[in-house]
């Protein structure tokens, strides 16, 4: 169905029917001039992230539902990285002529699935025609107890550096999708060779913000001293903590967790898996530091690996291979 047939109000009505409200703090969701959120003793965490067609995603291989899911997830991840929980979000869409009502519904299905899984209310939004392609802007509001907010600036020398999950998969997934896109462009009858690489593809197209890790850390009564989510790559995000905390970091290369599919794809493409982990980005794992005295509480937590320790700023931010000379960490970031 053409969006013009429904009009903006018709489209909003149609979408709003499927949108539940689940948090008691959402006093009013979609339907008025603004959403209304109840007053609270909690710190409020507010963040926003925008995904632009041609910059952040390629519709050749990114399904709209996954894209909606990812747009919500990157915002939730930033709230978790402050040690809080997302509660409400609003969505702005810029939609070009080639999209139908069904396309917008697909996108919303992804946004709503993300909200359902993370207990968030989609409390409002705006939809506009776009001349340049698809734009998805999401802003999320979260909360955290005042004493528990974690900044990038709290790391101290001797703290342990920890990471959840594994790194590099999103980037190897992107390289694989780009490779198969080229094959397809050369020969539209070719079948994409993606079997066996579901983990890295899903990591790139449909990442998961790490709510479980935050819950696990709370159960273990561990509040990190500093934390950031891995959006730009381990090197760049570690340097953010170093700069803002005024410290250095020593990371041990053989401790960096890399998933098997990421390793396999890197080998197949003659690409260095460690480079994908350091500079690839978009893994949305949590990088955090804890006091050395809490080692006992995290060492057996499933999804957490200790990969290094914080040192004085003069000792630098270094990656230390098992044999060989340490290498200075450099922020390449994600392009
Ligand atoms: Mg972040």
Q: Is 32 exposed, middle or buried (0-12, 13-18, 19+ CB in 10 A)?
A: exposed
Domain boundaries, the chain: 3-148, 160-328
Query: How many Å lie between the centroid of ligand 1 and the Cα of residue 78?
Result: 5
Q: Is the pLDDT of residue 334 over 60?
A: no
Cβ(139)–Cβ(125) under 8 Å? Answer: no
CATH topology (fold) of 3-148 = 60s Ribosomal Protein L30; Chain: A; (3.30.1330)
Q: How confident is the model at residue 12, as a pLDDT?
A: 82
Q: How confident is the model at residue 333, as a pLDDT?
A: 52
Query: How many Å lie between the centroid of ligand 1 and the Cα of residue 77?
Result: 7
What is the dihedral sign for C-alpha 301, 159, 316, 247?
positive
Query: How many Å lie between the centroid of ligand 1 and the Cα of residue 230?
Result: 7
Query: How many Å lie between the centroid of ligand 1 and the Cα of residue 81?
Result: 7
Query: How many Å lie between the centroid of ligand 1 and the Cα of residue 16?
Result: 29
Q: Is the pLDDT of residue 226 over 70?
A: yes
Q: How confident is the model at residue 111, as a pLDDT?
A: 97
Q: Is the pLDDT of residue 254 over 80?
A: yes
Query: How many Cβ atoms are within 10 Å of 33's Cβ, its own excluded?
Result: 6
Query: How many Å lie between the centroid of ligand 1 and the Cα of residue 102?
Result: 31
More confident residue, 9 or 180: 180
Cβ(334)–Cβ(231) under 8 Å? Answer: yes
Query: How many Å lie between the centroid of ligand 1 and the Cα of residue 45?
Result: 12
Please give the model's pTM, rounded to 2 decimal places. Answer: 0.95
Average pLDDT estimate for 264-279: 95
CATH numeric code, 160-328: 3.90.650.10
Query: How many Å lie between the centroid of ligand 1 and the Cα of residue 228?
Result: 6
Query: How many Å lie between the centroid of ligand 1 and the Cα of residue 97?
Result: 32
* Span between the terminal Cα atoms of the chain, in Å: 35
Closest residue by Cα to residue 30 from 47, 11, 17, 46? 17
Q: How confident is the model at residue 8, as a pLDDT?
A: 78
Query: How many Å lie between the centroid of ligand 1 and the Cα of residue 146?
Result: 20
Query: How many Å lie between the centroid of ligand 1 and the Cα of residue 195?
Result: 31
Query: How many Å lie between the centroid of ligand 1 and the Cα of residue 310?
Result: 20
Q: 61 in helix, strand or coil?
A: coil
Q: How confident is the model at residue 9, as a pLDDT?
A: 81
Cβ(118)–Cβ(81) under 8 Å? Answer: no
Q: Which helix (H) or strand (E) holds 261?
A: helix 260-268
Average pLDDT estimate for 210-238: 96
**Mean pLDDT, the chain, integer:** 94
Query: How many Å lie between the centroid of ligand 1 and the Cα of residue 47?
Result: 9
Average pLDDT estimate for 280-293: 96
């Amino acid at each position: 169905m053409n969006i013009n047939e429904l009009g903006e109000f018709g489209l909003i009505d149609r979408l709003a029917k499927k949108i539940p409200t689940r948090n008691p703090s959402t006093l009013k969701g979609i339907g008025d001039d603004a959403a209304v959120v109840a007053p609270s003793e909690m710190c409020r965490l507010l963040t926003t992230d925008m995904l632009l067609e041609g910059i952040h995603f390629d519709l050749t291989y990114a399904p709209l539902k996954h894209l909606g899911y990812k747009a919500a997830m990157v915002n939730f991840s930033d709230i978790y990285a402050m040690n809080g929980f997302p509660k409400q979000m609003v969505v702005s869409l810029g939609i070009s002529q080639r999209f139908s009502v069904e396309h917008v519904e697909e996108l919303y299905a992804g946004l709503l699935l993300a909200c359902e899984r993370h207990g968030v209310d989609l409390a409002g939004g705006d939809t506009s025609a776009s001349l340049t392609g698809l734009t998805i802007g999401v802003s999320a509001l979260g909360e955290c107890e005042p004493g528990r907010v974690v900044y990038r600036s709290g790391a101290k020398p001797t703290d342990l550096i920890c990471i959840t999950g594994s790194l590099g998969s999103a980037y190897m997934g992107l390289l694989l999708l780009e490779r198969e896109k080229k094959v397809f462009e050369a020969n539209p009858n070719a079948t994409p060779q993606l079997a066996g690489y579901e983990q890295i593809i899903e990591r790139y197209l449909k990442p998961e913000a790490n709510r479980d890790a935050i819950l696990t850390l709370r159960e273990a009564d561990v509040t990190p001293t500093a934390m950031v989510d891995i959006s730009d790559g381990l090197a760049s995000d570690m340097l953010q903590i170093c700069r803002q905390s005024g410290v250095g970091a020593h990371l041990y290369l053989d401790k960096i967790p890399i998933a098997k599919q990421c390793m396999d794809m890197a080998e197949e493409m003659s690409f260095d898996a460690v480079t994908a982990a350091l500079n690839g980005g978009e893994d949305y794992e949590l990088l955090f530091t804890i006091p050395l005295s809490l080692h006992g509480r995290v060492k057996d937590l499933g999804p957490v690996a200790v990969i290094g320790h914080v040192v004085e700023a003069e000792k630098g931010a270094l990656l230390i291979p098992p044999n060989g000379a340490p290498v200075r960490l450099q922020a390449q970031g994600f392009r």
